[in-house]
Amino acid sequence: MKKSRRGENSWQIFTVAISLISYNARWHGSREPSRSPSFMKSTRADLRNVAIIAHVDHGKTTLVDNMLRQSGLFRREELDKLAGGQHGLIVDSNPLERERGITILAKNIAFKIGNVKVNLIDTPGHADFGGEVERVLKMADGCFLLVDAAEGPLPQTRFVLRKAFDCGLKPIVVINKIDRQDARITDVHNAIFDLFVELGADDAALDFPTIYAAGRQGIATLDLATPATDLQPLYKTVLDKVPAPVVDLDAPLQMQVMSIDYSDYVGRIGIGRIFAGKIRKGQRIALLKRDGKRVEANIKQLFEFDRLGRSECEELSAGDIAAVVGLEGVDIGDTIADLEKGEALPPISVDEPTLDMVFRVNDSPFVGRSGTYVTSRQVRDRLFHELESNVAMRVKPNPEKADELIVSGRGLLHLSILIETMRREGYELSVGKPRVITRQVNGAMHEPIEYLVIEVPPSALGAVMELVGSRRGECVKMDARGDMTHAEFTIPARGLIGLRTRLLNATQGQAIMHHNFYDYQPYKGAIPARINGVMISTETGKATSYAIEGLQDRGTLFVGPMEDVYEGQVVGEHCRDNDLPVNICREKKLTNVRSATSEIKTTIKAPRTMTLEIALEYIEEDEFVEVTPEAIRMRKILLKEADRRKFDRAQRNRYDRN
């Protein structure tokens, strides 16, 4: 009886447990919100999205150009017409890009390898455009990391590689320029491996494929023992090693805007990747903003990237990179979603500016001589128009002066390109000295710190250490690389302003300098200002050879004979630390008395040419750079000497009272 009772009790307990489980499941099932049915993911074997990242001047764009030439989709004459600039590049089509030899804007290119469409994204290499590289990597499924076979990994290499790891990409390493005489391929390969380890790469990423290439010659190989003849190994690696997009084609639409283009005809154009579903021309969608707002709109036009341009299409699917027209107010990080079942994707951040500059109308005596747009309203409208496409820039009015605007950007190059573009469009303006943007962290002021890399001959290393040390730089690493010494520093960003020119002068032009943003750290203290004073014109007129001859011993001049100058213009650098007012328009007095020295000929030295970047680095707080379509001049904010003396007295009196 006991045995049967025990079996009966066990059966009752088992029955009750089953009942409780089923009841619990029904109860929780009634509490659960209704979920959309699960969608089957599929692999798009007909598509590859790949980005090319590298440090500046490591050969990204040159390699992309040769990939286009060998793709078989273009006639040679067709590409030769598009080539231009100092390097004869095709992809860098912007006039400023061709003049400077750098990539400023990311380019989307599409071509086919067999039946597979490849979306190839060429990215900028300069540190000022690092934010754009970060966003572009979110559109890619794989990336090529280019490294110079002689220079090895540099600061921007570290930055872009870290961003690639953050996006979950496994880079394919391309050691470029293997045809250089000073190439050190094995050492560079080991340095890349060490960099992967330092950045915390997993075992799968450490087993990276390596391609050895010479981008200018258009050749690549997977093994140095095998002679390179063309770029076929590169194409094969794209198909074999870059993963195909894994997507939900039947899921509700989700597309994230990664970049913004602008057209005067259709307004803002949102460029991004479709992560789920499909998008059609004329479709009603929900635009989910980063701040949580929801805006309904229609897709007026839909474009896909085709070869070197864009072509209009009716429908695109998940995995494709698309350009969308018709979304007013679209911004980076916004999600284009299904109207009924729209869900926002995780927002992406836009890098905050690190540098401020004052922009104001040109009020010099030569205003309007060469420019078309000279009023403050025209300058203001142009700057706010720039905000439509330049998302890393900020513009705000100066609270101290109503006629000035404070423009913020990612660096000096970022802002100087804007100024140069405005100058070529016919604008006249004055800009002030760049200032670094600081932060308050726990009540203490923090400033941006840059990671600086300098390669210099050993004989000039002492001058480099003295210059960088005086600007609060700290040496973190130093080693010998052939005939050069490789030194790495951390230095405040404000210490870099004007450093390049002084570094080149101290090393007779032999120093190679690269830098990239590193971190925000507590304020490092004061940094010495410009050592030399300047020579300031006291008259308006034309500079004369007679006056220049007498001023040559006082310093270096910035103007030549018969150049127009005005009162308050900076015409030269004084050999001492004080400013010197000079009359550079002084003429030789005519006389009928014969002089024994009248026939002596003297040679006038050529003036120093001040480019826009050099002028911006050179000026101090009491000076402006005057930018016009025909000339770039430096001037004092207060043009008259009496006004400058009055201002200096007021400053001294205020200091004495405090």
> What residues does each domain of the chain span?
43-246, 248-338, 439-522, 534-589+600-625+633-657
In this structure, the number of other CB atoms found within 10 A of the CB of residue 5 comes to: 9
Non-local (6+) Cβ contacts of 215 within 8 A are 59, 62, 63, 66, 176, 177
Please name the fold of domain 439-522.
Answer: Alpha-Beta Plaits (3.30.70)
Q: Which CATH number does 534-589+600-625+633-657 carry?
A: 2.40.50.250
Tell me, what's the pLDDT at 13?
42
Tell me, what's the pLDDT at 234?
87
Integer Cα distance of 253 and 94 in angstroms: 34
Cβ 503 vs Cβ 454: under 8 Å: yes
| Backbone region of residue 155 per phi and psi (left: phi > 0; alpha: psi in -120 to 50; beta: other values) | alpha
Buried b (16+ CB within 10 A) or exposed e, 470-483: ebbbebeeeeeeee
Closest CA to 331 of 266, 283, 387, 411: 387
Mark out the alpha helices in 253-309 (DSSP H runs): none
349: its two tokens: 């951040």
Integer Cα distance of 445 and 292 in angstroms: 32
Amino acid residing at 222: L
Q: What is the pLDDT of residues 178-213, one digit of tens each?
A: 888 888 889 899 989 988 888 888 888 888 889 998
Q: Could you tell me which residues are beta bridge partners of residue 213?
A: 220
504: its two tokens: 């080149």
Integer Cα distance of 537 and 552 in angstroms: 14
In this structure, the number of other CB atoms found within 10 A of the CB of residue 427 comes to: 22
Tell me, what's the pLDDT at 81?
59
Q: What is the pLDDT of residues 326-363, one digit of tens each?
A: 888 888 888 888 888 888 888 776 677 888 999 999 99
Tell me, what's the pLDDT at 629?
92
Tell me, what's the pLDDT at 152?
86
CA atoms within 13 A of residue 467's CA, in its CB half-sphere: 23
Q: Which segments in the chain show pLDDT lower than 70?
A: 1-40, 74-101, 103-105, 127, 130-131, 349-350, 592-602, 658
- Whether the model clears a pTM of 0.85, i.e. scores above it, the answer is no
Integer Cα distance of 580 and 566 in angstroms: 15
Integer Cα distance of 81 and 92 in angstroms: 13
SS percent in the chain: helix, strand, coil, step 5: 30, 30, 40
Closest CA to 172 of 45, 52, 46, 47: 52
Tell me, what's the pLDDT at 564?
92
Please name the fold of domain 248-338.
Answer: Elongation Factor Tu (Ef-tu); domain 3 (2.40.30)
CATH class of 43-246: alpha beta
Cβ 50 vs Cβ 238: under 8 Å: yes
> Which residue is it, tokens 């400033």?
447
